[in-house]
Structure 1
């Protein structure tokens, strides 16, 4: 099986991580985030829903503790040589196996970082490892150490992101002919997923959002599908996914003639995203992006109808969310740098009139102006 990245790239990532550990005076880190394991080693699974931990020391040693079901998965997809299995049994506590592994790595009395803020770390797992290791070593929160390293993408990652962008556009192309009066949400959703899969893509880390009528004002997926009316609104948020790298987009499509309120909200979205493009570049931070969003929206008297965030960083992610931890919200001082993949979304949900309007796409940051990762224009779509 071909590795996702070259051995040289994986080695560079390991060196960056070990340098980060040494800078924080950590002797090791316990990785529970699946995207961290994937980025560092290529290990690809959904078995992280059970106890699974990759131990990485400051001198570059690694060992994976996982279940037997993921043994061959790790051998086939990753470069991890040391794979250890904890056994499923009644009242099993894999943190004991983790302690033994760490003892083999001479980590008694060490300072060890832990990825707490991840879907692979449940409260039960946190309690187990803290109870097991409290007299063995000193634990501290290192949830974002690898996540920060992943913010700026390598040329190899950008190549996958560009492929994901093409699949994102293909999904919209598949949806457009079906997004007409009488069209089925189920058929639209199926066509979008088919476009991604037939293009060699992967499942998204969270559901595509699809909602029409009053459900067009929702920012999350829900069960149940309907057909579009003659004059209807359809909100879509989806992503092209390739090698787990996501490129997201968001649009509200209209059947029939746009209402005056739809036109007004679209103008606000379009003006806002154009204003953000002017500052989505080095020298600014994530908080300043949101502040510009709020400034434009509030000038349209839309403060009650906008959200408190307007996008986030994207990359290789696993269920249940394709969002990375860095978001565009007020006060976020994360600096914008070249090589970031950033999703910007304008979302206006006017519950007073039952009117929805969204506009969003993913950008690759450069030394200057951001590069949109879509061939589609930002014009209003009505059928």
Structure 2
């Protein structure tokens, strides 16, 4: 019989993106919240929250995983058996349990929770990766355990980044700039959207980027006037606008960047829109000061857009938080938005992407963005790439 080697002890923590003290500080802050809320433990299922707390990252998060963070002591991670080796390489703690294909992970979770003596369990109700069916199975398996809503407890701690997180974001921004530079240089009549996307991704990855939480956005001509359009083999022609946006990644921390290109001379309306986008971005960045509400940058940008008569071309928030991300989204928009009515005060260490786009829907989009770190004195953009529309 062939002997299957167990995971080597030397592998433990070898792939962690940060040293254990970074994660222990996060765990301590989260446990303080758990105790203040009167829960015995918090159950995390979102891949970003599991990563932030445990260091665990994998492309296999489509299979159920859960992190049980007790009010006292070290966490316990439950993963699919195939994921155990990777989990041990990532995690800063030793207690990792598994469920086997063909078994019910809800039952394995219930066994873990009951084995830990948890009587009042806080659960993320807003997690993307637990289906209503799975949640119903978990609730049935945990019959007798009091469940409360722990949504947002971890996210509130993720909003302000540590120095190590900020360093990762700065590296990611450099990869994004490399990708954007290559994409702009590839834009020319006769090149295809695929050529542009390939150049963008190749340069970002060659610069150092890991897997991106969402594909880049590359579209041209009339398709550039469709939000979130991606490349589809179309060849660029004279007179086309080209819309480019990507986020690159370092240790799962993402920084995004958007720029616009025109093949030839843009029409007068497109140029006015672009000039308005630039003024709106400048206004938003100027409004980013510690203590100001998250609504302030949006309202500053909106005033510039309204004054130029392009209100209907901009019906969205001015920005969103950035940090650790997994597909399908490169941003942390569920944590913080720069938008009307968001009163959360800006604080040093917060990171935002501000994509200011104006659209003539179905005809073209122009826009510009920056990922910025908020410092004691204001917004620090992470890119040095020129912001004006590039003419090719």
TM-score (norm 2): 0.92
Aligned ranges 1:286-297 → 2 under 5 Å: 286-297=294-305
Whether 1:26 aligns to 2:45 is no
Aligned to 2:116: 105
Aligned to 1:8: 21
Deviation at 1:223, TM superposition (A): 5.9
* Contact 1:182/1:229 (<8 A) preserved: yes
Per-residue Cα deviation, 1:161-180 (whole angstroms, up to 9, x for no partner): 11101101100111122111
* Contact 2:217/2:231 (<8 A) preserved: no
- Structure 2 CA distance for aligned equivalents of residues 222 and 287 of structure 1: 30
Aligned ranges 1:102-181 → 2 under 5 Å: 102-107=113-118, 109-110=119-120, 112-133=121-142, 135-181=143-189
| The one of 80, 84, 93 aligned to 2:93 | 80
* Contact 1:246/1:316 (<8 A) preserved: yes
Per-residue Cα deviation, 1:27-59 (whole angstroms, up to 9, x for no partner): 111100111121112111122212111101010
Gaps of 5+ in 1: none
- Structure 1 CA distance for aligned equivalents of residues 188 and 197 of structure 2: 14
Matched length: 377
Per-residue Cα deviation, 1:231-255 (whole angstroms, up to 9, x for no partner): 1101111012111111101122111
- Structure 2 CA distance for aligned equivalents of residues 218 and 80 of structure 1: 46
Aligned ranges 1:45-60 → 2 under 5 Å: 45-60=58-73
Aligned to 1:317: 325
Aligned to 1:273: 281
Higher deviation after alignment, 320-329 or 357-366: 320-329
Deviation at 1:2, TM superposition (A): 4.7
Structure 1 residues 221 and 70: alpha-carbon distance in aligned structure 2, compared to 1, 3 A threshold: farther
Aligned to 1:199: 207
Superposition CA RMSD, Å = 1.5
* Contact 1:208/1:221 (<8 A) preserved: no
Whether 1:260 aligns to 2:268 is yes
TM-score (norm 1): 0.95
- Structure 1 CA distance for aligned equivalents of residues 125 and 233 of structure 2: 37
- Structure 1 CA distance for aligned equivalents of residues 232 and 197 of structure 2: 12
- Structure 1 CA distance for aligned equivalents of residues 63 and 132 of structure 2: 12
Q: Which runs of 4+ in 1 moved over 6 A?
A: none
Per-residue Cα deviation, 1:148-190 (whole angstroms, up to 9, x for no partner): 1111111111111111011011001111221111122111111
